[in-house]
Amino acid sequence: MNATWSRFNITSIVLGFAFLYLPIVLLIVFSFNESKLVTVWGGFSTKWYVSLFHNQGLMDATWVTARVGVISATVATVLGTLAAITLTRYTRFKGRVLFSGMVFAPLVMPEVITGLSLLLLFVAVGLDRGFFTVTLAHITFTMCFVAVVVQSRLVSFDRSLEEAAMDLGAPPVKTFFQITLPVIMPAIISGWMLAFTLSLDDLVIASFTSGPGATTLPMKIYSQVRLGVTPEINAACTILIAVVAVGVIIASIANKRREVQRQRDEQAAQRG
Amino acid sequence: MTNIAAAASPPAETAALPTRLAKGFVDRLVIIVPYLWLLFFFLVPFIIVFKISLSQTAISMPPYTPVLDFSEGISGFFAGFRELNFDNYTWLTQDALYFNAYVTSLIIAAISTLLTLIVGYPIAYGMARAPATIRPTLLMLVILPFWTSFLIRVYAWIGILKPEGLLNQVLLSLHLISQPLVILNTYTAIFIGIVYSYLPFMVLPLYSSLEKMDYSLIEAAQDLGCPPTGAFWKITFPLSLPGVIAGCLLVFIPAVGEFVIPDLLGGSQTLMIGKTLWNEFFANRDWPVSSAVAVILLLVLTVPIMFFQQAQAKAQEQGK
């Protein structure tokens, strides 16, 4: 295999990753630019970060976004996990085709359609647009992503573990919490993180379903970007990237540690 | 293990009645909660969109005349049928703007999907042939940009593609060009934006189908005298077809209705349906017409979405 990892393959990977990362790196570099012109280097400075923290509108938007993200990701994870269990475990029930359709379709549905349709629903039932409606909208579109992530873990799950627990007298609900849940936990955690970042990231659906007083960070960034590119936005983006990157790295380290621990347990079990 | 469990399962079947009732209740709850949620927040909204697309624009809040109102009972409901009108749809066919926007969106999405495939395939292939020890790292490096904000990644390209932007500065200082290239606010910028933003969606399914491939097939073909390009088109590409289809659908469908990329990189000159819908809704405040735009967009995308669902269901079956 090593011999076939030719120069062509290495080149395509290097070029591909350069394409993926160069714009982000440039964005971060220019957030430390002294000059107000985003594309002309005027020396190192952190003044845009300072002015960022004095920008009350931006700070408010950040707070709204964080709350929407945490609440919607948590509810979406519960609903998405239930949906994943339904998809993998209950292969025969009325309306299963419709159900799987409703889980998979939002993954590719253009955001403008989802946003518009949810807004019209909220208007039809007389819900005031604001924090609550954005959260509901985010739960709906992120739960499908959670369902897909958890489902892929459930498909490879060894069901004999559950059967063994139930044979030993554990009721189904207890079996779920003591056997199934710990095994699929890594998938649930990454599902939560995915839901959180999708919510953090969303501009289109939030713009449709939000109301006065519930401006999210992407909406704020978008309205400022339309007025022109400023180093302050670069700084805000850099902080957002840093938060996500740290989260992903912590999660992957935790995952790796768990994996190592699991292998050790398995070896110990085999020896014992 | 499975045999033992299967042999020992009868006692569980004949468990006490309360336990079975409880299990039946929990089972039903597990299905019903997400089911109802999706019905109410995903399916019902589409019905409302359809309904409003048949109503008339009105200067009020909400800005449309209600149709099919159940509050007046069944007779009122049927009376409402007579008031339904397809004016908004007639309007869409009369104004060439909308037709052009649909066609342009489909063409742009198709070209960008092809470009993403051309850019993504070598990356996925290189990753699949990489030493097994570094593959998880490479995979993580592809996923990582996906975690960073879509809006930010599109925004980053404005600074690069601007007339006085970084790309032009580099090209000018290398004396490759004498005049700054105009890329921002053209269709080229939209292509770059879509390829860049959707690249992970293409690479991941391609990688997972290329990684599963048995590479001794290629060695066999080469031993039998097949040139490398021939082996690629006869063996590698057909075997990676499920990944190609999944990747293309994952890029194509959202790209048709894309708003952020044409809005920020395409400028006011370019025409795409997601942007048209947005303007119709936010600038013109014409809810019925934007609903009609959404209904037609959904109809256009029905076939690719059904393809996507079938591919997903198939992948799920194979995973078992």
Provide the pLDDT for residue B63.
64
- The DSSP secondary-structure symbol of A127 reads P
Provide the pLDDT for residue B19.
61
Choose the closest CB to A163 out of B9, B33, B256. B9
Task: State yes or no: pLDDT of A272 exceeds 70.
Answer: no
Q: What is the pLDDT of residues B247-256, one digit of tens each?
A: 999 999 999 9
Q: Please tell me the distance in Å from A49's CA to the nearest CA on chain B.
A: 17
**Cβ–Cβ of B27/A101 closer than 8 Å?**
no
Task: State yes or no: pLDDT of B79 exceeds 60.
Answer: no
In chain B, % of residues over pLDDT 90 = 22
- Chain B residues within 8 A of A251 when measuring between CB atoms: none
Q: What b/e sequence results for B135-148 when a residue is b if at least 16 CB atoms lie within 10 Å of its CB, and e otherwise?
A: eeebbebbebbbbb
- Chain B residues within 8 A of A154 when measuring between CB atoms: none
Task: State yes or no: pLDDT of B76 exceeds 70.
Answer: no
In chain B, % of residues over pLDDT 70 = 82
- Say which residue, B6 or A68, is predicted with more confidence: A68
Are A85 and A154 a contacting pair, CB within 8 Å? yes
Task: State yes or no: pLDDT of B46 exceeds 70.
Answer: yes
| Six-digit token string for A182 | 């710990």
* CA proximity to A111, closest of B101, B274, B63: B274
What value does the CA radius of gyration of chain A take, rounded to a whole number of Å? 23
- Chain A residues within 8 A of B43 when measuring between CB atoms: 98, 102
How many contiguous H segments (helices) and E segments (strands) does chain A have? 12, 0
A–B: how many Cβ contacts below 8 A?
270
Provide the pLDDT for residue B7.
40
**Cβ–Cβ of A20/B122 closer than 8 Å?**
no
Task: State yes or no: pLDDT of A2 exceeds 50.
Answer: no
Choose the closest CB to B166 out of A39, A95, A218. A39
Tell me how far the alpha carbon of residue A165 is from its chain's centroid.
Answer: 33
B264 touches chain A (CB under 8 A): yes
Q: Name residues whose C-beta falls within 8 Å of residue B98's C-beta, 6 or more positions apart in sequence.
A: B92, B273, B276, B293
Q: Pick the residue from chain B with its C-alpha nearest to A94.
A: B31
Phi, psi values for residue B224, rounded to 5°: -85, 5
**What single letter denotes the amino acid at residue B221?**
A
**Cβ–Cβ of B147/A93 closer than 8 Å?**
no
Q: Pick the residue from chain A with its C-alpha nearest to B263.
A: A226
CB count within 10 Å of CB B169 equals 15
Q: Pick the residue from chain B with its C-alpha nearest to A107.
A: B250
**A100/A15 Cα distance (integer angstroms):** 38
Phi, psi values for residue A44, rounded to 5°: -80, 140
B38 touches chain A (CB under 8 A): yes
**Cβ–Cβ of B26/A99 closer than 8 Å?**
no
Task: State yes or no: pLDDT of B11 exceeds 50.
Answer: no
| Six-digit token string for B302 | 């029905």
Provide the pLDDT for residue A173.
82
Q: Pick the residue from chain A with its C-alpha nearest to B214.
A: A1
What is the arithmetic mean of pLDDT over B204-228? Answer: 86
| Mean per-residue pLDDT of chain B | 81
Task: State yes or no: pLDDT of B67 exceeds 60.
Answer: no
Provide the pLDDT for residue B107.
95
What is the arithmetic mean of pLDDT over B276-305? Answer: 87
Provide the pLDDT for residue B10.
41
* B188 confidence band (pLDDT: 50, 70, 90): very high
B288 touches chain A (CB under 8 A): no
Task: State yes or no: pLDDT of A260 exceeds 70.
Answer: yes
**What single letter denotes the amino acid at residue B270?**
T
- Chain A residues within 8 A of B1 when measuring between CB atoms: 160, 164
- Chain A residues within 8 A of B274 when measuring between CB atoms: 110-112
Burial-class residue B290 by CB neighbours within 10 Å (0-12, 13-18, 19+). Answer: buried
Largest CA distance in chain B: 85
Provide the pLDDT for residue A114.
93
Which residues face A44 on adjacent strands?
A33
A80 touches chain B (CB under 8 A): yes
What is the arithmetic mean of pLDDT over B149-177? Answer: 84
**Cβ–Cβ of A245/B46 closer than 8 Å?**
no
Domains of chain B by range and CATH? Answer: 19-83 (no CATH), 91-319 (1.10.3720.10)
What is the arithmetic mean of pLDDT over A5-26? Answer: 86
| Mean per-residue pLDDT of chain A | 86
- Chain B residues within 8 A of A222 when measuring between CB atoms: 151, 260
* CA proximity to A180, closest of A206, A211, A159: A159
Phi, psi values for residue A33, rounded to 5°: -80, 135
Q: Taking a contact as any Cβ pair under 8 Å apart, which residues of chain A between 203 and 242 contact chain B? A: 203-204, 207-208, 218, 221-222, 225, 229, 233, 237, 240-241
A170 touches chain B (CB under 8 A): no
Q: Taking a contact as any Cβ pair under 8 Å apart, which residues of chain B between 53 and 112 contact chain A? A: 62
**What single letter denotes the amino acid at residue B99?**
F
Provide the pLDDT for residue B2.
39
- Chain A residues within 8 A of B290 when measuring between CB atoms: 116
Map residue A251 onto helix, strand or coil: helix
**A129/B61 Cα distance (integer angstroms):** 13
Residue matched to tokens 């189908």: B209
pTM of the model: 0.83
Provide the pLDDT for residue B108.
94
Provide the pLDDT for residue A5.
59
Task: State yes or no: pLDDT of B61 exceeds 70.
Answer: no
- Chain A residues within 8 A of B150 when measuring between CB atoms: 201, 203
What is the arithmetic mean of pLDDT over A241-270? Answer: 79
Q: Select the CATH number that applies to the domain covering A54-228 from these four: 3.90.180.10, 1.10.8.60, 3.40.50.300, 1.10.3720.10.
A: 1.10.3720.10
Q: What is the pLDDT of residues A118-166, one digit of tens each?
A: 999 998 888 888 999 999 999 999 999 999 889 888 887 778 888 888 8
Which of the residue ranges A29-38, B1-10, B111-120 would you say has the lowest mean pLDDT? B1-10
B41 touches chain A (CB under 8 A): yes
**B126/A11 Cα distance (integer angstroms):** 8
A267 touches chain B (CB under 8 A): no
Q: What is the pLDDT of residues B20-41, one digit of tens each?
A: 666 677 778 888 899 999 999 9
What is the arithmetic mean of pLDDT over B205-234? Answer: 86
Choose the closest CB to B169 out of A6, A39, A124. A39
Q: Taking a contact as any Cβ pair under 8 Å apart, which residues of chain A between 6 and 25 contact chain B? A: 6, 8-10, 12-13, 16-17, 19-21, 23-24
Residue matched to tokens 């995952």: A255
What is the arithmetic mean of pLDDT over B188-205? Answer: 93
Task: State yes or no: pLDDT of A75 exceeds 60.
Answer: yes
Provide the pLDDT for residue B40.
92
B241 touches chain A (CB under 8 A): no
Provide the pLDDT for residue B248.
93
Reported ipTM: 0.83
**Cβ–Cβ of A201/B150 closer than 8 Å?**
yes
Enumerate the H helices of chain B as residue ranges: 2-8, 10-13, 17-38, 44-53, 73-83, 87-94, 96-128, 135-147, 150-161, 166-173, 187-211, 216-223, 228-231, 237-239, 241-256, 260-264, 273-282, 287-319
Q: What is the pLDDT of residues A185-230, one digit of tens each?
A: 888 988 998 899 889 889 999 999 998 888 998 998 888 888 777 7
Q: Pick the residue from chain A with its C-alpha nearest to B125.
A: A9
Residue B253: C-alpha distances to residues A72, B146, B246, B292 (Å): 25, 17, 11, 19
Choose the closest CB to A167 out of B12, B35, B264. B12
Task: State yes or no: pLDDT of B4 exceeds 60.
Answer: no
Q: Name residues whose C-beta falls within 8 Å of residue A261's C-beta, 6 or more positions apart in sequence.
A: none
Domain ranges within chain A, ordered by starting residue: 54-228, 239-272
B196 touches chain A (CB under 8 A): yes
What value does the CA radius of gyration of chain B take, rounded to a whole number of Å? 26
